[in-house]
């Protein structure tokens, strides 16, 4: 039995459960001239339907939506990360930079905002949002340059801040995030269809909440920068803008109770829990007893890895908290504080740290950690997968895993060792999935 292949198969089953075609096909339908989703009903004959959006999954979402609405869509544009485009018939697809916003993202957002200016109170704007939308949908305040935003984001992404913290800053350096896109949609109705890539499915954090009320403030954004000691290093224009906002001299993001949100419906189509549920079902079909640890795993990747490895060792030694054959499943999003000069992402770093923590474990096992979008950090890998046999390659090629980990260089460790998990763009994005298999 190839345990690593079996772990990959279970990972692929999790991905299938959160594909946009699956989610939209299940949850949206046309009934008697109405677009129905859950208890919500939208009359289709009253005005035009426009489709906008941003995120790694938004092109796949647009194509699935076209399958439901077809010629009911008057026009549309969504922005995806470079390489994540799929052909659509009625919705234009643009590509732009991620995780750092680039000029292409600003230009695509300008086209979206121009499209919204023609909307009337009778129209329906369907906004397709998924992870990655924060970088791909952007209009900057006049005093903030693209270069200043990019430098601020570089520092935030490297300091170990959570996505909630990062997006609190992003929202206050933007004219579309934090509910401000909903203001641009008005007076039209807005239906946001969302694939969640954040812990807790917080609407104001996914893609920085362009159509949701924002719970954060300028003061919160400044507190994040202070927490990670960035106030002395970020561009002066950014710090000046945030302090002006804290003093009430710049407009806040959209807040709960704003009448603009009365015509907005935010609907989460899929999330990490759904993917984990399908992974669990696949593992059970393969004959494993299963335990889903959590869909909310977070913290420094290498520290989380030590805890996970301890659970795996306990299962192998005592059958607690789960007897073998055992499948341990987890989801969430860890962080990496970058101190080295290597290449990798949070899943590869977690996997490398787990490999070290599991050194010497004699029981057979497979360990997989992968990003559901198919991209782990700035790499072409989704993550990493390995079993005890990887140590043969480590010794044969004289690799020092501790040195690679110290340099945040998990990619260049797993590349020669044979452990990179490569899926290509998956069309979805619901954070990360982890799978550990221990046969009986």
Residue 8 lies in a domain: no
- Do both 180 and 279 map to the same domain? no
**DSSP summary character for residue 212:** S
- Please write the tens of the pLDDT for every residue from 213-263: 999 999 999 999 999 999 999 999 999 999 999 999 999 999 999 999 999
- Do both 73 and 192 map to the same domain? yes
The 10 Å CB-count burial string (b at 16+, else e) for 3-26 is bbebbbebbebbbebbbbbbbbee
- Do both 46 and 74 map to the same domain? yes
Q: In angstroms, how far is CA 302 from the centroid of its own chain?
A: 20
pLDDT for 204 equals 96
Residue 260 lies in a domain: yes
- Do both 211 and 339 map to the same domain? no
Query: In the structure, what pLDDT confidence band is assigned to residue 1 with cuts at 50, 70 and 90?
Result: low
- Please write the tens of the pLDDT for every residue from 310-328: 999 999 999 999 999 999 9
Query: In the structure, what pLDDT confidence band is assigned to residue 63 with cuts at 50, 70 and 90?
Result: very high
Quote the number of domains for the chain: 2
- Please write the tens of the pLDDT for every residue from 17-40: 999 999 999 999 999 989 999 888
pLDDT for 287 equals 98
- Please write the tens of the pLDDT for every residue from 420-437: 999 999 999 999 999 999
- Do both 290 and 189 map to the same domain? no
pLDDT average, residue stretch 350-358: 98
- Do both 200 and 68 map to the same domain? yes
CATH of the domain at 191: 3.40.50.10180
Output the six-digit token pair for 226.
């202070």
Residue appearing with tokens 């890539």: 197
Residue at which a domain ends, from 270, 304, 336:
270
- Do both 363 and 380 map to the same domain? yes
- Do both 284 and 396 map to the same domain? yes
pLDDT average, residue stretch 179-195: 97
Domain that holds residue 292: 273-438
- Please write the tens of the pLDDT for every residue from 97-146: 999 999 999 999 999 999 999 999 999 999 999 999 999 999 999 999 99
Closest residue by Cα to residue 309 from 250, 353, 276: 353
CA dist 8 and 379 (Å) reads 19
CATH of the domain at 310: 3.40.1480.10
- Do both 266 and 278 map to the same domain? no
Closest residue by Cα to residue 92 from 133, 127, 52: 52
Q: How many helices (H) and strands (E) does the chain have?
A: 16, 15
| Percentage, residues of the chain above pLDDT 70 | 100
Q: How far separated are the first and last CA of the chain, in Å rounded?
A: 12
Residue 81 lies in a domain: yes
pTM score: 0.94
- Do both 280 and 263 map to the same domain? no
């Amino acid at each position: 039995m190839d345990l690593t292949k079996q772990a990959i198969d279970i990972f692929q089953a999790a991905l299938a459960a959160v594909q946009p075609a699956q989610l939209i096909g299940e949850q949206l339908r046309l009934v008697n001239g109405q677009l129905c989703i859950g208890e919500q009903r939208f009359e289709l004959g009253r005005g035009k339907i426009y489709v906008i959006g941003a995120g790694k999954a938004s092109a796949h979402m647009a194509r699935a939506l076209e399958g439901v609405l077809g010629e009911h869509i008057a026009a549309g544009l969504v922005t995806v990360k470079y390489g994540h485009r799929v052909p659509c018939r009625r919705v234009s697809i643009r590509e732009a930079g991620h995780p750092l916003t680039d000029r292409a993202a600003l230009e695509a957002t300008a086209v979206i905002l121009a499209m919204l200016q023609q909307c009337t109170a009778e129209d329906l704007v369907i906004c397709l949002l998924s992870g990655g939308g924060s970088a791909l949908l952007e209009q900057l305040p006049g005093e903030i340059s693209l270069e200043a935003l990019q430098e601020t984001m570089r520092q935030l992404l490297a300091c170990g801040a959570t996505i909630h913290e990062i997006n609190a800053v992003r929202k206050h350096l933007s004219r579309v995030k934090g509910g401000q896109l909903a203001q641009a949609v008005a007076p039209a109705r807005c239906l946001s269809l969302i694939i969640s890539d954040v812990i807790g499915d917080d609407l104001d954090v996914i893609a920085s909440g362009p159509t949701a009320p924002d719970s954060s403030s300028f003061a919160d954004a400044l507190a994040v920068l202070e927490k990670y000691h960035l106030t002395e290093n970020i561009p002066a224009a950014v710090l000046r803008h945030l302090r002006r906002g804290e003093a009430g001299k710049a407009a806040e993001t959209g807040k709960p109770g704003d009448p603009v949100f009365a015509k907005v419906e935010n609907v989460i189509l899929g999330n990490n829990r759904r993917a984990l549920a399908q992974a669990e079902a696949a593992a059970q079909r393969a004959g494993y007893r299963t335990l889903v640890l959590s869909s909310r795993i977070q913290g420094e990747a290498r520290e989380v890895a030590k805890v996970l490895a301890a659970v795996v060792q306990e299962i192998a030694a005592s059958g607690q908290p789960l007897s073998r054959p055992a499948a341990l499943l987890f989801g969430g999003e860890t962080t990496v504080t970058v101190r080295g000069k290597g290449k990798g992402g949070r899943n590869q770093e977690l996997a490398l740290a787990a490999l070290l923590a599991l050194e010497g474990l004699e029981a057979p096992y497979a360990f997989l950690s992968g990003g559901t979008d198919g991209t782990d950090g700035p790499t072409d890998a989704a993550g990493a997968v390995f079993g005890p046999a990887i140590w043969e390659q480590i010794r044969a090629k004289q690799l020092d895993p501790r040195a690679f980990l110290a340099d945040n260089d998990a990619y260049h460790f797993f590349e020669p060792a044979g452990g990179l998990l490569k899926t290509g763009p998956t069309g979805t994005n619901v954070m990360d999935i982890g799978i550990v298999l221990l046969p009986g």
